[in-house]
Amino acid sequence: MAKFHTTDLSKFSFLVTGGAGFIGSNIAEYLLSHNAKKVVVYDNLATGFEDNIRPFLSLPGFRFIKDDICDLNACKNAFEGIDYVFHQAALGSVPRSIENPIATHNANASGFLSVLVAAKNAGVKRIVYASSSSVYGDIQDSPKQEKKIGKPLSPYAVSKLVNEFYADIFSRTYNMEIIGLRYFNIFGPRQNPKGAYAAAIPLFIDGLLNNTPVYINSDGEQSRDFTYVENAVQGNIKAMFCTDKKALGSVFNIALGDSISVNQLFNTLKKITGASLSPAYRDERKGDVKNSMADISKAAHILGYSPSVNVEDGLRQTVEWFNNYFRK
């Protein structure tokens, strides 16, 4: 993974909530590979996996805390002595949120509030947290710009919008440095293909590699700004060490700034894997948007964000990871 910072990480302690999950473990790996003084992963393993952080467990600067962000006292204890927090912990998935809105709210909204309170009490220097493109809701504008959102289409979207409201309030009321990142369809190594709420790309790869059914919702012409996880890591690192004061209390789109249809995505993966499998089509999902593409100019201008991995290269790296690790 490329280097995205100039700051000497060996001087600082970092905490990654949800650090045993997909994006969080990639952030933790980046920090450890660049000699961070201390990296604490805080995760209840509800959707994360200890396998994702197993290579880190023996490293002297690494610590794993298995606990829940909804437990304020546990958060307060974990945050003591921490300089910077990457908040990635959440219950993802729009369908999951429709089936269980209370669990989604507890993890995403109440849990985030615990993180903010713990960070405030510990005197954390800065928090960078994961928001979502889902906050754009029913707005039809394309590409999506941070200043204009519509009505949320799912409990998950509401929970992420609540995060942004709380971040704004804590930033202004307690003079905390907080930056939000609206992720657009992040994919890559360590993204789990199993379970009822798995995302499209790992499901597609798993099906293509194992010749098992692959399903596409609706007609497959819905489009997404699929974004390789290395770009998301870059966004997090650049946000954490951005010196432009305009970044504080703000939110940024983290994406490729382009989009492809789900059908195009499947065909690209089919070419990469050499599979002959055809997809099966089924009804569209409740809460899904038709098209999603980000305007990343704000992140580029203020954070210096510049996505370095395009979709096809990212898909190739992801398929390689599946072949090397997930199928062993």
Q: How many CB atoms lie within 10 A of CB 327?
A: 9
What is the per-residue pLDDT for 287? 65
pLDDT higher than 50, residue 106: yes
Q: Which amino acid is at 106?
A: N
The rounded mean pLDDT for the chain is 94
pTM: 0.95
Reading the block at residue 250, the tokens are 């703000």
Active-site pick, 30, 156, 166, 305: 156
Residue range 11-187+227-257+294-308, CATH number:
3.40.50.720
pLDDT at position 328 over 60 = no
- Cα dihedral 251, 243, 125, 300 sign: positive
Domain ranges of the chain: 11-187+227-257+294-308
pLDDT (0 to 100) of residue 142: 87
pLDDT score, position 20: 97
Rounded mean pLDDT of 209-232? 92
Residue 283 confidence class, pLDDT cut points 50, 70, 90: confident
pLDDT level of residue 326 (50, 70, 90 thresholds): low
* Structure confidence by residue, pLDDT tens digits, 22-44: 999 999 999 999 999 999 999 99
Is 197 part of the annotated catalytic residue set? no
Task: Dump the DSSP string for 141-161.
Answer: -SSB-TT------SHHHHHHH
According to the model, what pLDDT value does residue 237 have? Answer: 98
Above 80 in pLDDT, residue 196?
A: no
- 73-91 mean pLDDT: 97
Query: Is there a contact between 20 and 189 (Cβ–Cβ < 8 Å)?
Result: no
* Cα separations in angstroms, 18 against 47, 77, 262: 9, 16, 28
254 pLDDT more than 80: yes
Residue type, 124: V
Instruction: Let me know the angle formed at the C-alpha of 227 by 243 and 287, rounded to the nearest 5 degrees.
Output: 110
If pLDDT is split at 50, 70 and 90, which confidence band does 70 have?
A: very high
